Amino acid sequence: MIPGINLLNVASTVISLINVDYYPWVSRTKDAVGNWVATYGDSFPLRSSVQPVPRNKYAFLGLDFQKKYVKIFIPYNSIDLSRDVSGDQFIYKGETFVFESNTEWFSMDGWNSAYAVKVGGTFNG
């Protein structure tokens, strides 16, 4: 029955999942000059499926052509970018990505998917 069978778990029987280094967002504070700085928890490996977002979808999705995006599928209740909150971050192939837009299935099916944007080559937390 869908939802409820954990489609990510089912899909993982035919596609390979990989580990990403996952950094959950914890809070934000002001630095010495008054800029907001995000704080992240300790990293942990998280099995996921990371897919590139085709550039021909950028305009439809309202994405910036000057940036690099991926879609990630994870068995974790992730946090995305919202007012007063930075999204969780992860490292994939040596590049750091931050969550921008979740599709929340966690409460129903045990997984989330999200669009994430590249923010740097190393962890930014």
pLDDT values of the chain reduced to their tens digit, one per residue, 125 residues:
556 565 555 565 567 788 999 999 998 888 999 988 888 999 999 989 898 999 999 998 888 999 999 999 887 777 777 666 788 899 999 999 998 876 666 656 667 888 999 997 555 55
**Domain extent for 52:** 7-120
Quote the CA–CA distance of 43 and 65 in Å, as a whole number: 29
> Could you tell me the two tokens for 100?
């921008």
Q: Establish if 1 belongs to a structural domain.
A: no
Q: For residue 13, give the CATH number of its domain.
A: 2.40.10.270
* 94 in any annotated domain: yes
Report yes or no on 125 lying in a domain. Answer: no
What total of structural domains would you count in the chain?
A: 1
Token pair listed for 51: 């897919």
In a domain, 60, yes or no: yes
- Distance, in Å, from the CA atom of 110 to the CA atom of 86, rounded to the nearest integer, reads 22
Q: What is the pLDDT of residue 66?
A: 92
State how far the Cα of 8 lies from the Cα of 25, in Å rounded to an integer: 23
